[in-house]
Amino acid sequence: MSPSGLLFEHASSCEHDPSGHAPDHPEGPGRIQAIDAALAAVDWLGWERRVAPAATREEIEAVHDRALVEQVQRLSATGGGRLDADTFAGAGSYRAALHASGGACAMVRALVAGESRVGFAALRPPGHHAERARAMGFCLFNNVAVAAQLALATLGVARVLIIDWDVHHGNGTAEIFRRSGEVMYASIHQAGIYPGTGQLADAGSGPGLGCTLNLPVDAGTEGEVWISLLEHVILAAAEGFAPELVLLSAGFDAHRADPLGSCRLETDDFAQMACHARDFARRVGAPLGAVLEGGYEPRALSESVLATMAALAGAGEAHSIAPEPIYTPRAAGQVGRYWSL
């Protein structure tokens, strides 16, 4: 067992650079550089650092159409270009995307094998907007979905809980697992912004009905609301789901300093959510891994990542709070149709 956790990184995360096609693009190498500098200053919090391998084509194509994979590969090989209005590939993007998904897969393999109870894949490009056949929203391949599918298909895991606290709804992850009863996808996100999905009434479909938990909140929402929704709705429902693996789509753009969202979370709020997720994972006996998603203000991002990693490794206590009076009962009314809360 690693004494703190397992951290997966790769140099290619800094080779994916959309600024060659969009000079002011917010999702750049500086995000990883800020995280690395902050972690280095605290001796990596005692975490074991591992080099993220590249995902195989088979692993990527378990959740993505081959045509998408070939499109990203071809575009990178020819110098790069636009995949959609705000999503670009450059010469190093295909390699970076393979290692971003591969790091998430390696983390899951190590967690399931019992090498550590917690892990963090600090890699880019992010992934939760990428749909089965479409790269979008800065995302090329859906890293958390690739890792979750690997756990289900080859590692003997029966049920995976994915908690997405990025300020934007993870439409790609939601759609990939929409009809799956093996994955509970739970997202807290700001309503009315990109990508425009994630309505409260959308609970999945078919065999996956009830396994999609969309908990939208308004602009200006503070951390207490997010923590209440996590504690009293998501984790309460997840008790009945009984996951064997917990994954976090760990975006940090709900921070009050972030330029792409309008919520008002503080760094300590991310630490509290991580404490609640950590304690839940321990309670159900499931390992817990985090996969980096958004977060576009370097200082807020790096401080929030450090606070999250420290909490996952055991720092701090999860403080139970009274249910917030507006969003929490509304969400509980929807989710309670499918799960005992």
68-94 residue pLDDT tens: 999 999 999 999 999 999 999 999 999
225-256 residue pLDDT tens: 999 999 999 999 999 999 999 999 999 999 99
The CATH number of whichever domain residue 287 belongs to comes to: 3.40.800.20
In a domain, 23, yes or no: yes
Cα 232 to Cα 249: distance, rounded to the nearest angstrom: 19
Split into its structural domains, the chain has a count of: 1
Token representation of residue 129:
């907007």
In a domain, 330, yes or no: yes
118-172 residue pLDDT tens: 999 999 999 999 999 999 999 999 999 999 999 999 999 999 999 999 999 999 9
**Strands, sheet with 183-190, edge to edge from the N-terminal-most edge strand:** 48-51, 6-9, 118-121, 288-292, 245-250, 160-164, 183-190, 212-217
In a domain, 341, yes or no: no
Cα 302 to Cα 308: distance, rounded to the nearest angstrom: 10
Active-site entry in 16, 99, 128, 129: 129
Average pLDDT score over the chain: 97
Active site residue 129: yes
Share of the chain above pLDDT 90, in %: 99
For residue 104, what pLDDT is reported?
99
In a domain, 273, yes or no: yes
In a domain, 304, yes or no: yes
Compute how many other C-beta atoms are within 10 angstroms of the C-beta atom of residue 279. Answer: 16
308-334 residue pLDDT tens: 999 999 999 999 999 999 999 999 999
In a domain, 75, yes or no: yes
In a domain, 340, yes or no: no
In a domain, 58, yes or no: yes
Beta bridge partners of 170: none
Range of the domain at 38: 6-335
Distances, alpha carbon 153 to alpha carbons 58, 156, 188, 267, 271, in Å? 12, 7, 27, 35, 31
For residue 3, what pLDDT is reported?
63
Contact 318, 275 (CB under 8 A): yes
Contact 332, 233 (CB under 8 A): yes
